[in-house]
Structure 1
Amino acid sequence: MVLIQQLLILSLLAAAIMAQCPAPADLKLNSVCARMFEDSSYYNDKSCGGSYLDAKNGDDFPFMPLGWGNRISSMVVATRCEIRVWSTAAKLGNNRLFSTGTYYQLRDYAQGLFGDWNNAISSYYCKCN
């Protein structure tokens, strides 16, 4: 019986480790408006992987920080926050507003007629209420 309980606990811990996306409320506790990740997956529990870039409340980046242009594949927006993103530097091109939530795969969100937002963010503005 004890062995079964230990196996159950280990399987729950393994599932928690694999779920990489933080909850929107957890970001707000750390003063983060949005967290943008370089990796995503067709399996939601494996999204939000790789390196990440934190956007703080009021961050206004017409040009992405060095090495982050067109690299974002998934993101989490904190509770009571929103991030507006643009497809071109200097806040030009297509834009979209993402509100509170987890966006496991940015390829699921249309940008224009044929594109999507996977690896397409070149500038952003993040704010919280």
Structure 2
Amino acid sequence: MPQITVDYSADLADGFDRPGFAKALHEATVEIAAARPPACKTRFRRTEDIVVGPDTEGHAHVHVHIALLAGRTDETKARLTQAALELLRTHLKPAAGLALHASAEVRDLDPSYAKYES
């Protein structure tokens, strides 16, 4: 915990500082949501195709999913969501000719969540 997944358009790959974004988001998650630094895990999933409305061209997306153990207030989740969006602005260069659709969400992990470390 937290489990962070970032889906992003392939067209953004060259201008997206993914390691820098993950490090900064981990720091924000520790500060805002009281996560433990070694517990922060981020994976990036490159998306090859995106369709926005009727258009298949000219769009790119990034969506940040942050899943935390239950117990954070809605205010804490909203602050972390906004922090994620701000960090995208600093770690993602605009791609020429593409309309960027950036979003983020923070949700509670299901009570069935379990993990082990070895």
**Shared fold (TM-score, shorter chain, > 0.5):** no
Structure having greater relative contact order (Cα 8 Å, sep ≥ 6):
2
TM-score (norm 1): 0.21
Higher helix share goes to which structure? 2
